[in-house]
Amino acid sequence: MKSNIVEIDNLSFGYKGRLLHKNINMAFPRGKVIAIMGGSGSGKTTLLRLIGGQIRPTRGQVRVDGKVVHEQNRDGIYALRRTMGMLFQHGALFTDLSVFDNVAFPMRELTDLPEVMIRDLVLMKLNAVGLRGAHQLMPTELSGGMARRVALARAVALDPNIIMYDEPFAGLDPISMGVICDLIRSLNDALGATSIIVSHDVKETFLIADYVYFVANGEVTAEGTPEDLMQSTMPFVHQFVHGEKDGPVPFHYPAANYQKELFAPKSR
């Protein structure tokens, strides 16, 4: 068994003539929590979609468990996805199903388990995220943090080998953020899975990640353990980690000369 469950080799991806990723190399060892960080629009979520086989790379390859994702046919990709779980940014819960049915969904669709066993498994998964008592609620009755926890229970419903998290902390209050943070680490360790977190929340991500990749301008600009990156003197990493307003990532979007624009003849 290879030590890396996911490997990204010389990956480039672009669309509409624009190259979003250029020669990206990453490795995701089994059992670890790996974070991919970077500013908004840097293509972090696209990397998760490439790992899940929802889009094809322009060049290079993504290997999951030794298999090149984009070379798989539909059945092959679905077989790979059965070993993955994904938490979407806003949960992506099925709004016409209750909390219970949302968590039961992958079990009912992908296994032949009897309903009695599904009931017990769903309650166990919901108990793990602290929402067993909310199993009869509908998604519209949940807070943002609760919805994210239900989605997490659904993502781990079939005990996946890889769990991917797309901005798991975005828009959460500090208590919910702490709960999600703790759950990601504990579920990863309990399931013996590999977690891939895409996030721009430095504090929470650094707290649970074993290794971090920084993505900017379509490339991996820095990588290392959270401790290494906190001490980094690289201008981009320093600006990002310490949340500085100006730096290699400018505060202002590129624009014409301010003075000239203000005094120019008025036209829209």
Partner 1 sequence: MQIIYTVLLANIARLLRGFGARMITRIWRLGAASRLFFLTIFYSGESFRRFHLTLREIYFTGVMSLLIIIVSAFFVGMVLALQGYNTLQKYGSSEAIGVLVALSLVRELGPVVTALLFAGRAGTAITAEIGLMKTTEQLSAMEMMAVNPIARVVAPRFWAGVISMPILATLFSMVGVLGGYLVAVPLIGVDDGAFWSQMQANVDVRDDIINGVIKSLVFGVACTMIALFEGFDAPPTAEGVSHATTRTVVISSLTVLGLDFVLTSFMIVV
Is 84 among the residues that bind partner 1 (CB under 8 A)? yes
Is 52 among the residues that bind partner 1 (CB under 8 A)? yes
Query: DSSP letter string over 186-212?
Result: HHHHHHT-EEEEEE--HHHHHHH-SEE
For 102, the token pair is 């949302």
Region for residue 213 given its phi and psi (left: phi exceeds 0; alpha: psi -120 to 50; beta: otherwise): beta
Q: What is the smallest separation between the CB atom of 105 and partner 1, expressed in angstroms?
A: 7
Cite the DSSP H helix spans in the chain: 44-51, 74-81, 99-110, 115-128, 144-155, 174-191, 202-208, 226-231, 235-241, 258-263
Is 88 among the residues that bind partner 1 (CB under 8 A)? yes
Is 78 among the residues that bind partner 1 (CB under 8 A)? yes
Is 143 among the residues that bind partner 1 (CB under 8 A)? no
Shorter beta-carbon distance to partner 1: residue 109 or 227:
109
Q: What is the smallest separation between the CB atom of 81 and partner 1, expressed in angstroms?
A: 4
Residue from 2, 55, 70, 94 in contact with partner 1 (CB under 8 A): 94
Angle at 228 between CA 224 and CA 234, to 5 degrees: 90
Shorter beta-carbon distance to partner 1: residue 40 or 259:
40
Shorter beta-carbon distance to partner 1: residue 39 or 106:
106
For 228, the token pair is 């290494």
The site for partner 1 (CB under 8 A) is made up of: 52, 54, 77-79, 81-82, 84, 86, 88-90, 92-95, 105-106, 109-110
